[in-house]
Amino acid sequence: MCESIYGKYREVLEQIMSSFVANLHQYNKKVYEETGYKLFEHLNSRIKEEESIREKCRRKDLPENTHSALAELKDAIGVRIVFSFIDDIYKSIAYIKSLSDCRVVTEKDYIRHAKPNGYRSYHMILEMSVPYEDVNGNYPGKYYIEVQMRTIAMDSWASLEHQLKYKKSVSNQALIVDELKRCADELASCDVSMQTIRNLIRKA
């Protein structure tokens, strides 16, 4: 059995992920206590599987080692948050950006600017300053978290699109791709309508 690509930092990754997730849950609870509604419906987090990160190293022509996994690649920790309403995504983004130990490395808004195939989501890579040594010997250390935020409708669509991507023997793939794009547009319109209805209810 080969040594873990995360080396001695695997436990640190788990602690950073747990702390970040707990922070988000606490914020969700605070908003609920103040307003009576939750910001997000559910949240999933994971440490990227060893083979997945090794495969990504090979694809990017990086050495399969701990430095590549934790310094060159920036998705060892992944967090996906699913919301009911679009506005709550942007409220959560603002909260994350306000965290003192967090710096946004990159962000891509595929909600307002969907991919050609209809994919919608909000992606962020965060650099977290934490009280642990990192792979470069820095203390406090710098670790990265990949965050994806989407509505329930976007999440359902992405799950279908993911199934198609990894299904090799689909005879009518072109038709399915067209249907997925049409469905993505309809779901996006529905998300906007739902947001409008909630806003009207609040004003009333």
CA atoms of 117 and 110, how far apart (whole Å): 11
Domain housing 68? 7-151
Q: What is the DSSP string of 59-79?
A: HTT--SSHHIIIII---SEEE
Count of the separate structural domains present in the chain: 2
Same domain, 72 and 139: yes
> pLDDT per residue over 142-174, tens digit each?
999 999 999 999 999 999 998 887 776 777 888
Q: What's the confidence (pLDDT) of residue 114?
A: 96
Q: What's the confidence (pLDDT) of residue 120?
A: 97
pTM: 0.92
Same domain, 196 and 128: no
Better pLDDT: 169 or 130: 130
> pLDDT per residue over 19-64, tens digit each?
999 999 999 999 999 999 999 999 999 999 999 999 999 999 999 9
Same domain, 49 and 135: yes
